[in-house]
């Protein structure tokens, strides 16, 4: 039962530590959307929890699978639904047997951008079980929000970070008010809550088609991610997991390129030359991830080269520009979603470089015809949702 009469959450501080007085008060004190089970959150922690829970709750409902998100600074570094764990993820976390649905969803979400997910706020659409609690205990993560916790899991998580790990419970039955409001610099802003449901009805192709079932699921996941990502935002998705999320850029094509670079890094982490990097015993998982990414990026400073050699037990192999290009050409079947209309065809041209075969965007740009032409040239299936998903 989710009941907290007169509930109010005292916060550690506001957005910054110098904003020392802060609290969170639910509009309906007897039925808050989330409640604190352990820890002392900051203002940003609460924002992360509220955004992340909405994302995984909606994605889980739309796709009918456990969903998870890894949040940093009020936007997802990655999101996913349950699915297979590949050898790269399994090797990184020492997984030798299969894992349950909610754990697989979080592992897949965290793998989209594991450098950014360091110190994340996690969210899952289903109750936390012992398996996920044990995984969370061993990764650098600041907190989690979930609709429930199996016996013993809150106690297990409460010991993490010397007792500072945040455990929050989401209220699945909470119904948000029809109007939202916020106060900024002495002004109160009000608007209707966006209540349009995500569904396959939004994904009728206007170029190419039909959409395969997996592409439909990927585009729906992408739309759910964009709804809770700081705009401008775009999202690359494949097989039920994000490969690159771009957030908060003033230029949409810059957002497309930045997120595309994350896709390339995700894919190159699966290249044999990167997988063959052998680290000395005692090198932490996150340091291994960071060195893999720097090795992929290839612009190491002299000091970084020295430290990488010290971290490895055998010399690194070669990863040439030609090898990179050939490997990237092997990535296909990627879905791409945009929270706003694609204003120029350059977004499609850049997305195509990262294996994109399916696009969902609202449409309505004065150059929408150019966008359609680009999709035809690249044999990309284009859907026009008519739904803008800006989030600020």
Distance CA 208, CA 230 (A): 30
The torsion angles phi and psi of 363, rounded to 5 degrees, stand at 80, 180
Q: Is 198 exposed, middle or buried (0-12, 13-18, 19+ CB in 10 A)?
A: buried
Q: How does DSSP classify residue 9?
A: E
Rounded to whole angstroms, the Cα distance separating 267 from 128 reads 29
CA neighbor of 55 nearest in space, from 115, 124, 109: 124
Output the CA torsion 209→349→362→356 (10° steps): 50
Can you say how many angstroms the Cα of residue 71 is from the centroid of all Cα atoms in its chain? 6
For residue 234, give the 3-state DSSP assignment.
Answer: strand
Q: Which of 35, 12, 88, 138 is nearest to 272 (CA)?
A: 88
8 A C-beta contact, residue 378 and residue 348: yes
For 86-133, give the DSSP string.
-HHHHHHHT--S---HHHHHHHHHHHSSTTTTTTEEEEESS-B-HHHH
End-to-end alpha carbon distance in the chain: 32
Q: Give catalytic residues, as residue numbers.
A: 72-73, 232, 392
């Amino acid at each position: 039962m989710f009941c907290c009469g007169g509930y109010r959450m005292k916060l550690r501080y506001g957005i910054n530590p110098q904003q020392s007085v802060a609290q969170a008060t639910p509009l309906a004190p007897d039925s808050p959307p989330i409640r604190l089970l352990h820890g002392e959150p900051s203002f940003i922690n609460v924002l992360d929890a509220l955004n992340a829970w909405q994302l995984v709750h909606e994605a889980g409902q739309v796709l009918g699978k456990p969903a998870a998100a890894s949040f940093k600074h009020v936007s997802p570094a990655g999101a996913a639904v349950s699915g297979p764990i590949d050898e790269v993820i399994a090797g990184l976390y020492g997984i030798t047997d299969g894992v349950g649905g909610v754990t697989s969803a979080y592992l897949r979400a965290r793998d989209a951008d594991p450098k950014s997910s360091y110190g994340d706020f996690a969210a899952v659409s289903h109750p936390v079980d012992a398996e996920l609690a044990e995984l969370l205990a061993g990764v650098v993560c600041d907190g989690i929000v979930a609709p429930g916790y199996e016996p013993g899991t809150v106690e297990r998580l409460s010991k993490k970070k010397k007792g500072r790990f945040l455990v929050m419970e989401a209220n699945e039955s909470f119904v948000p008010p029809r109007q939202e409001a916020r106060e900024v610099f002495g002004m109160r802003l009000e608007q209707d809550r966006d209540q349009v449901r995500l569904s396959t009805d939004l994904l009728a192709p206007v170029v190419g088609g039909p959409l395969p079932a997996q592409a439909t699921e990927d585009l729906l996941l992408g739309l759910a991610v964009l709804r809770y990502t700081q705009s401008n935002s775009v999202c690359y998705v494949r097989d039920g997991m994000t490969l690159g999320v771009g957030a908060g850029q003033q230029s949409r094509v810059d957002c497309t390129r930045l997120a595309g670079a994350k896709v390339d890094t995700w894919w190159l982490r699966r290249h044999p030359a990167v997988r063959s990097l052998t680290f000395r015993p005692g090198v932490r998982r996150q340091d291994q991830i960071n060195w893999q990414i720097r090795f992929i990026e290839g612009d190491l400073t002299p000091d970084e080269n020295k430290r990488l050699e010290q971290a490895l037990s055998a010399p690194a192999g070669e990863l040439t520009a030609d090898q990179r290009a050939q490997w990237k050409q092997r990535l296909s079947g990627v879905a791409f979603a945009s929270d706003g209309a694609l204003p120029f065809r350059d977004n499609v041209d850049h997305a195509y470089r990262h294996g994109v075969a399916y696009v969902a965007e609202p449409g309505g740009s004065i150059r929408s015809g150019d966008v359609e032409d680009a999709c035809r040239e690249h044999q990309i299936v284009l859907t026009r949702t008519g739904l803008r998903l800006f989030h600020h």
